[in-house]
Amino acid sequence: MQATATLSFNRAAINRANSQHSTGPRTDAGKQRSSQNALRHGLTARTAVLASEDQSAYDHHCRQFQNEHRPATPTETELVQELADTSWRLRRIPLLEADILDRALSPAPTPEPPAFDIVDAHQLLASLGLHGARLSRQFQKTLDQLRDIQFERRQHERRELKDAAAILELHKYKGIPWEPADHGFVFSKDQVERCSERLMRQNEARYIAAERFNSPPTATLAWEF
């Protein structure tokens, strides 16, 4: 029992000693700023754009992502919005880092000790680094998920459109009128017509290419003197 009590006392003493060398905020003002940091940097807030930021710039930022990825379903739209929001937060980090260094290295002249010093700045910069790494991983994971979903959707649409084009040509051959909706297709008649035309041109192109590029060489004549 005495050994256990001694061990517990030693651990408590070590913890107190370590706390004296902590690199966290040391001043009361610094501690208050640190505790409010998550709220002020907005990197974990529900709303991506802060009240201090330009809403029109954020809207333009989101439109750029919409134009690039062109979501076609609610799930894709949600993922594209998540990409835009994550990217917006990532763009904020360098500005926050510059502000922290500026406040730490250029304190306002005052007879009192600085309310925010380089030690406080070090902790906040380390925190921003962790947030940046997390957001970067989140961005890449969301992008990969979006690409997989869109690839599968486009592959399915290509198969469906090719099937519709084949049925269209069958009805043309039989002289029977046909509409894509007759067989549950969501494509317009014009879309199916264009696909059918493209497939026929591709087949013709492959045939001509095989004739011209893959035909066996012709025998050369031997001249004797």
pLDDT in tens, 157-205: 999 999 999 999 999 999 999 999 999 999 999 999 999 999 999 999 9
Number of domains in the chain: 1
> 106 versus 214: which is more confidently predicted?
214
Residue 57 lies in a domain: yes
Residue 185 lies in a domain: yes
Residue 9 lies in a domain: no
Which tens digits make up the pLDDT trace of 127-165? 889 999 999 999 999 999 999 999 999 999 999 999 999
Question: Which whole number is the average pLDDT over 121-130?
Answer: 85
- Asked whether residue 219 carries a pLDDT value surpassing 60, the answer given is no
The DSSP output letter for 24 is S
pLDDT given for residue 107 in this prediction = 61
CA distance linking residue 119 with residue 194, whole number of Å: 66
Residue 38 lies in a domain: no
Smallest CA-to-CA distance from 68 within 143, 141, 140 is with 143
CA distance linking residue 121 with residue 102, whole number of Å: 10
CA atoms within 13 A on the CB side of 2: 0
pLDDT given for residue 128 in this prediction = 87
CA distance linking residue 63 with residue 70, whole number of Å: 10
pLDDT given for residue 222 in this prediction = 47
Band (114; pLDDT cuts 50, 70, 90): low
Which residues form the domain of 179?
50-211
* 68-82, 94-108, 193-207, 210-224: range with lowest mean pLDDT: 210-224
Residue 22 lies in a domain: no
Which tens digits make up the pLDDT trace of 73-95? 999 999 999 999 999 999 999 88
Which SS3 state, helix, strand or coil, does residue 51 take?
A: coil
Which tens digits make up the pLDDT trace of 27-85? 454 444 444 444 356 677 777 888 888 999 999 999 999 999 999 999 999 999 999 99
pLDDT given for residue 121 in this prediction = 75
The DSSP output letter for 73 is S
Residue 224 lies in a domain: no
Residue 136 lies in a domain: yes
Residue 12 lies in a domain: no
175-to-171, 172, 188 alpha-carbon distances in Å = 6, 5, 19
